[in-house]
Chain A
Amino acid sequence: MSWTLLLALCAASYALKAVGPLLAGGRELGPRARRALDLVAVPLLAALILVQTLGDGHRLVIDARVPALAVAAVLVWRRAPFLVVVLAAAGTAALLRALG
């Protein structure tokens, strides 16, 4: 993994955080811009869930990650702690792969 790109990500991340505290000078966003920005993470996270569950290079596949996500979904719905959710997902996939 290249350090250059990693440091570029660090710089981009800091620049986004610093826009308000360093440059805004008390100005605030309008309600419409704020609503759109509030929603930005939602479709990205939803896309990441599906791409990371079904993606295999450029193919869509159904493998042990699908039942693992189902287990995670039940646990998230039951408000289980974060670590329980991710460990249960890993355990489900590992178990199914060991069996199959």
Chain B
Amino acid sequence: MATAIASTPNRTLSGAAGIGIAVGVYGISFGVLAVAAGLSAAQACVMSMLVFTGASQFAFVGVLAGGGGALAAMGPAVMLAVRNAAYGLSLAPILTGRLGERALAAQLVIDESTAMARAQDDPGAARRAFLATGVSVWLCWNAGTLAGALLGNGLGDPRALGLDAMFPAAFLALLAPQLRRPGAPVAAVAGAMVAVAALPFTPAGVPVIAALAGVVPGVLVARGVRA
């Protein structure tokens, strides 16, 4: 997909709009689940505006919905946001300009904007693709969250509606494209096993943090693949 949307400014804009719309739909489901997990509509919207990174937000409300406290929900959410630091570092050479501009651009550092920027050939095009995608996704994600939060307020029992089953499905949809990376399947299996083993003995949120240990066999396998 990335290469297909590279090059001309028009294709960059239509690619950015298309990604935005897809993310908006995802935002609707986030809004519904956030209010079902006990956030107010205002909290769901503030979270989407300021946190603005989908996997972390889903993880946060997922732990809340599963009965963990907000503190327990923080750990997995922050750890999932760590990859944005890696994205930001890789984008730093194209995100130049005054401090204020860079401070605003930083908020747009997410999976989609990074992927679009990496698909371009020159720094100018990469910068335009990053900004177009980031702004489009930000607008649609927040519109979707608001719509979902309002919709979710009118819904009944989250369990009877199967809303709790939406979380693992959402995480699976996020995980699947990442499994093609070297070492990723091993890291996934190892992480899942650690989390399940830790679940009966540790407070909510800890099993997911413990799963980070899965990175170690993943990196070892990735290195073996290259050698």
Contacts and interface: CB of A to CB of B under 8 A. Distances in A.
Interface of A: 1-3, 5-10, 12-14, 16-22, 24-29, 32, 34-55, 57-60, 64-65, 68-69, 72-73, 76-77, 81-83, 85-95, 97-98
Contacts of B159: 97
Interface of B: 22, 25-26, 28-29, 38-40, 43, 46-47, 50-53, 55-56, 59-60, 62, 64, 66-67, 70-71, 73-74, 76-93, 95, 99, 102-103, 105-107, 109-110, 159-176, 178-179, 181, 183-184, 187-192, 194-196, 199-201, 207-208, 210-215, 218-219, 222-223
A83 to B, nearest CB: 5
Contact of A37 (B73, B83, B163, B188): B83
Interface secondary structure of A, over-half rule: helix
Given A13-B84, A14-B107, A93-B165, A44 B79 contact: yes
Contact of A42 (B53, B187, B194): B187
Interface secondary structure of B, over-half rule: helix
5 contacts: A26-B92, A69-B168, A88-B169, A89-B165, A89-B168
B214 A38 contact: no
A86 B195 contact: no
A38 to B, nearest CB: 6
